[in-house]
Amino acid sequence: QVQLVESGGGLVQSAVSLILSCTASGYISGINNWGWFRQASGKQREVVAFITSAGKAVIADSVKGRFTISRDNDKNTMYLQMNSLKPDETAVYYCAADLSTRYWGQGTQVTVSS
């Protein structure tokens, strides 16, 4: 199993950038896909971006061109660079790692003010 700890959330103004981090511990070598989801109040959780064990990044259409996902294997950390944030992207952002099952972090709140 793995443990995931997110950081970097907060309150930002619209159009500002923010970087989220997710640090993993445990059976890190077993991680296949590693990515970010978000869940706004009253809405379903949706995938934002994920990166495969081969390093391929897959970005949701809604954030393509503004968000970038990357991983630093030496630091066991994955990052989500979010640019030009919009108020409707206010949500709890969750880190998730797929092994034989999906593991979740505790989530980090991102609030974008207009």
pLDDT tens per residue, range 36-75: 999 999 999 999 999 998 889 999 999 999 999 999 989 9
CA dist list (Å): 55 to 25, 43, 68, 73, 111? 19, 30, 13, 10, 29
pLDDT tens per residue, range 95-106: 999 999 999 999
Residues paired with 63 in a beta bridge:
none
The mean pLDDT of 79-91, rounded to a whole number, is 97
* Tokens linked to 110: 């991102």
pLDDT at 53: 87
